[in-house]
């Protein structure tokens, strides 16, 4: 209690270990218990869905998870083409669209991000303000004319309205993310490359691009998630069932499903979130860092 002598008003309890060690271990356990309890309640619907998707139709509902009996029949039924639904095709379509969106965003947003982070050009501040301005622009305000344009040029029932804009760097979030990341790279590297005779393209290609790993991974991941989950875009532009994406298929399925195919509906829903969970587990560090720096969801 030496501090009480120095500062009589000090409450000594704050400067010594606050509780006996045993209680602290107990407190830590309690903290974990509360956290896990909240997580179980939150994630229970997903756990239930995964579990139910492996059960025979008659046995769905009211079961204790992980107790069986299990079957793959729902997945086989769900993926087998019927007169109205063809989930195998929807998965191919969804993957194709998401992959093209990722490619487009990576090319266009790295180019744009490099220009704003490293190059000098007239009206740079105004143009960057424009990027930031479009960050919070509600998409509805461009929706109708975009639809009219894509309709007029005959792009309905093609993937182009969903994919082409990505090659034109319309996702301001990723430009912002890449600008922030490139600004953090040391400028000495650019100057050294410039002395070695590199132009802007050379600096971009040989110096900056190889260092963009984490930012590129974050951009790719979020673009994939957004494209994979997108429901409004495909609903607007793809009305031919052979072009449907997985979310459209699920929405169709839910409107038409009866009790007999409930298991396959849950199986397809589970299968549709599997790539997201897979990518997330593979790259969760990058993702959570990305969210923390830019606020992307």
CB of 213 to other proteins, least distance (A): 20
Question: If binding is defined by CB under 8 A, does position 231 make contact with other proteins?
Answer: yes
Q: Which parts of 133-192 interact with other proteins (CB under 8 A)?
A: 134, 136-149, 151, 165, 167-170, 175, 191
Contact criterion met (CB below 8 Å) for 245 and 87: no
Q: Which parts of 66-105 interact with other proteins (CB under 8 A)?
A: none
Which of 97, 102, 163, 225 touches other proteins by CB under 8 A?
225
Contact criterion met (CB below 8 Å) for 275 and 228: yes
Question: If binding is defined by CB under 8 A, does position 200 make contact with other proteins?
Answer: yes
Which has the closest alpha carbon to 212: 241, 238, 185?
185
Question: If binding is defined by CB under 8 A, does position 254 make contact with other proteins?
Answer: yes
| Angle, CA 218 vertex, CA 209 and CA 275 arms, to 5° | 130
Which of 4, 10, 23, 82 touches other proteins by CB under 8 A?
10
Question: If binding is defined by CB under 8 A, does position 14 make contact with other proteins?
Answer: yes
Which of 45, 154, 186, 258 touches other proteins by CB under 8 A?
45
- The nearer residue to other proteins, 70 or 279, going by C-beta atoms, is 279
For residue 5, what are its two tokens? 């002598």
- The nearer residue to other proteins, 120 or 240, going by C-beta atoms, is 120
Contact criterion met (CB below 8 Å) for 230 and 276: no
Helix, strand, coil fractions of the chain, as percent rounded to 5: 75, 0, 25
For residue 154, what are its two tokens? 């005959």
- The nearer residue to other proteins, 26 or 137, going by C-beta atoms, is 137
Pick the stretch among 78-86, 92-100, 210-218, 223-231 that binds other proteins (CB under 8 A). Answer: 223-231
Which has the closest alpha carbon to 89: 254, 268, 274, 230?
268
Pick the stretch among 44-52, 74-82, 92-100, 177-185 that binds other proteins (CB under 8 A). Answer: 44-52
CA torsion through residues 255, 256, 258, 264, sign: negative
For residue 143, what are its two tokens? 């929706």
- The nearer residue to other proteins, 170 or 211, going by C-beta atoms, is 170
Question: If binding is defined by CB under 8 A, does position 276 make contact with other proteins?
Answer: yes
Which of 72, 130, 132, 153 touches other proteins by CB under 8 A?
130
CB within 8 A of 30, min separation 6: which ones?
none
Residue with tokens 């609903």: 235
């Amino acid at each position: 209690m030496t501090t009480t002598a120095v500062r009589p008003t000090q409450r000594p309890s704050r400067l010594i270990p606050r509780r006996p060690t045993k209680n602290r271990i107990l407190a830590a356990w309690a903290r974990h218990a509360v956290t896990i309890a909240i997580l179980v309640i939150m994630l229970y619907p997903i756990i239930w869905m995964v579990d139910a998707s492996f059960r025979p139709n008659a046995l769905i509902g009211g079961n204790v998870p992980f107790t069986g009996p299990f079957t793959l029949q729902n997945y086989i039924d769900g993926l087998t083409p019927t007169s109205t639904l063809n989930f195998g095709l929807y998965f191919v379509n969804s993957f194709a669209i998401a992959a093209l969106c990722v490619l487009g965003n990576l090319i266009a947003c790295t180019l744009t991000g490099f220009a704003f982070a490293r190059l000098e050009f007239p009206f740079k501040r105004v143009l960057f303000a424009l990027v930031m301005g479009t960050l919070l622009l509600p998409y509805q305000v461009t929706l109708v004319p975009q639809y009219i344009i894509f309709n007029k040029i005959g792009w309905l029932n093609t993937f182009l309205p969903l994919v082409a804009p990505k090659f034109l760097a319309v996702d301001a979030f990723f430009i912002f993310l890449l600008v922030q990341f490139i600004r953090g790279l040391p400028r000495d590297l650019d100057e050294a490359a410039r002395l070695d005779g590199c132009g802007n393209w050379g600096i971009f290609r040989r110096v900056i691009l190889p260092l963009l790993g984490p930012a590129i991974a974050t951009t790719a991941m979020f673009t994939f998630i957004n494209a994979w989950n997108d429901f409004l875009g495909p609903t607007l532009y793809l009305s031919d069932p052979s072009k449907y994406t997985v979310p459209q298929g699920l929405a169709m399925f839910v409107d038409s499903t009866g009790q007999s195919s409930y298991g396959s509906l849950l199986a397809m829903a589970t299968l549709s979130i599997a790539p997201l969970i897979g990518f997330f587990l593979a790259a969760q560090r990058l993702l959570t860092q990305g969210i923390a720096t830019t606020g992307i969801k």
